[in-house]
Amino acid sequence: MPFGKTELDHINDSLAKVEAIDSDRGRILIYDLHADDQITARGKFSSRFAVNAQFTRGTSVRVFDEASMSHAYTFRQAVRGMRRVALEAQLGAYASSYFPNTFGSGEASLQTWVSDLDRTLDAVLKNGSDNFGNTLLQLDVSAPAALVGGWALAPAAEKAEAYFEMSKAIQQQLRTLIPLVHFANLDEFRTLPAAAALLVYAALPPATGIVVDSGRIVQFDDKRDVYWDITPANIKAMAGHSLTLVHLLEALRRIHETLVHADGFADLASKYDPARPDRIIAAALNDTVGAADLNNLLGVERSVIREAQAAGRRIAGFMQAKNSSEARRQLAAFGAKVTEAFNSQIGGLFSSRQLRPLGTLVFLEAARAFDPALKAARPSAMLELTVLREQPSFDMRTFVDGVEVPAADIVRAERFVSLS
């Protein structure tokens, strides 16, 4: 089951302050926001999503200082006995999302780099091939100020066109990222119902409200809501839509080709026959596990979108507030909702530990709905991989809490940087 149970600690903290300054131009109010959402699995990983901003109000106009807007994300993970398949899957998802120009094909591929690293480590650790031992991962992501500032342009109206665009943008991004992360490990294809649920979910066309008549969709993007009603009839209609079938066929062709040529997976290829998309849809709709997973995927996606919409309306409320007390309350509520939506809420989806570090991409995609000029902007990122000796002198579980790694314990350290 892709929705495993792990005991997590969740802290969401959002503080908005206001300071009054007298100047030659009169009294100026400066609002500061510091919002932070953190998920921690003790000794395993931590995921921290933060947004900071400063707004200035003079007479009756409240503006934001773009240079003061910032977003930072940090992911830390400690794994004993890291195996190649897990490391390669995780690095592959991060490399394609944040470091697209770092690796190429053939001798320049990620797989070749991992093989070279494996041989280097085995020469020191003598722990056999495909075993990377005690491994630490840290990913730090930051976003251009303009992208964070895009949220300050969010409209107040619940049914503003920007929220419908944001909904579809978030759907598109999640349906791209989740399969990328989950299927990076080809073993996930061995559990057909769960895999089928994710494949059907990813193939669904992004949509807001839908109108279904006699089992067929007669209208997309109905403006009654930013997301369609998740009912069995609507799910069946969406899964059977021609656009879903086109996307699913494309995915099955790629998957079938991959499994045929992957060592140890050729026997699975027939289950993902491009000529039989009906079997994948049936597994997603009729199998108990498949149907539950598909419903969960849609439900969490809807929750992320609703939280993002609520965050946008909160910051719009802040911009329009009549007094400082109300403005501070709305700003704090924005910080809480926006950080939670793209960190802890996303954790309800497939492969949540690997997916949360990609929440920044979903956060930024939502911001683009408020300011189309931001289409080309990308985040900066730094990924550090550290392999420790077999018996380190410190408790490696404390790494997720920010404890510094003693230099004497490090066997190999690698770093990748991508600047926006």
Tokens read off for 212: 């279904």
Distance CA 146, CA 66 (A): 6
Residue 81 Rama label (left phi>0; alpha psi -120 to 50; beta): left
What integer pLDDT is reported at residue 61 of this predicted model?
46
| Domain range enclosing 249 | 9-418
Tell me the pLDDT tens digit for each residue of 35-75. 999 999 888 899 999 999 888 765 444 455 555 778 999 99
Q: What is the mean pLDDT of residues 19-26?
A: 77
123 lies in a domain?
yes
Q: Indicate the pairing of strand 209-213 with strand 216-222.
A: antiparallel
CA distances to 90, 170, 176, 201 from 257, in Å:
22, 29, 19, 21
Residue pLDDT, tens place only, 117-130? 999 999 999 999 99
The full DSSP string for 13-68 is EEEEEEEEEEETTEEEEEEEEEEEEEEEETTTEEEEEEEEEEEEE-SS-EEE-GGG
At 319, the pLDDT band (50, 70, 90 cuts) reads confident
**Residue type, position 279, single letter:** R
Flag whether 4 is in a domain. Answer: no
In a domain, 187, yes or no: yes
Q: According to the model, what pLDDT value does residue 66 have?
A: 57
Q: Phi/psi zone of residue 130: left (φ > 0), alpha (ψ -120 to 50 degrees), beta?
A: left
| Chain length of the chain | 420
Read off the pLDDT band of 1 (50, 70, 90).
very low
Give the model's confidence band at 152: pLDDT under 50 very low, under 70 low, under 90 confident, else very high. Answer: confident
Give the DSSP letter string of 230-281.
Answer: --HHHHHHHHTSHHHHHHHHHHHHHHHHHHHHSTT-GGGGGGG-TT-HHHHH
- CA-nearest of 250, 117, 92, 277 to 186 is 92
Structure tokens at 383: 């990924």
Give the predicted TM-score (pTM) of the model: 0.87
Residues 334 and 315: beta-carbon distance below 8 Å: yes
Share of the chain above pLDDT 70, in %: 95
Q: Which amino acid makes up residue 2?
A: P
In tens, the pLDDT along 60-115 reads 444 555 557 789 999 999 999 999 988 988 898 899 899 999 999 889 999 999 99
- pLDDT tens sequence across 177-226: 999 888 888 899 999 999 999 999 999 999 999 999 999 999 988 899 99
Q: Over 80: is that where the pLDDT of 27 sits?
A: no
Q: What number of other Cβ atoms are within 10 A of residue 388's Cβ?
A: 24
Q: What is the pLDDT of residue 22?
A: 80
Q: Number of folded domains in the chain? A: 1
pLDDT of residue 350: 74
In a domain, 2, yes or no: no
Return the SS3 of 128: coil
Domain annotation covers residue 213? yes
* Residue 383: pLDDT over 70: yes
* Residue 201 belongs to some domain of the structure: yes
> Could you tell me how many helices (H) and strands (E) the chain has, helices first?
12, 10
Domain-located, residue 321: yes
d(CA 88, CA 129): 14
pLDDT score, position 25: 66
Helix (H, G, I), strand (E, B) or coil at 168: helix
Q: pLDDT tens, 223-250? A: 999 999 999 999 999 999 999 999 999 9
106 secondary structure, DSSP code:
G
Asked if pLDDT for residue 338 goes beyond 50, the answer is: yes
Closest CA to 96 of 115, 106, 110, 116: 110
Would residue 61 count as lying in a domain? yes
What is the β-pairing status of strands 131-142 and 70-83? antiparallel
| Stretch among 23-37, 151-165, 184-198, 248-262 having the lowest mean pLDDT | 23-37
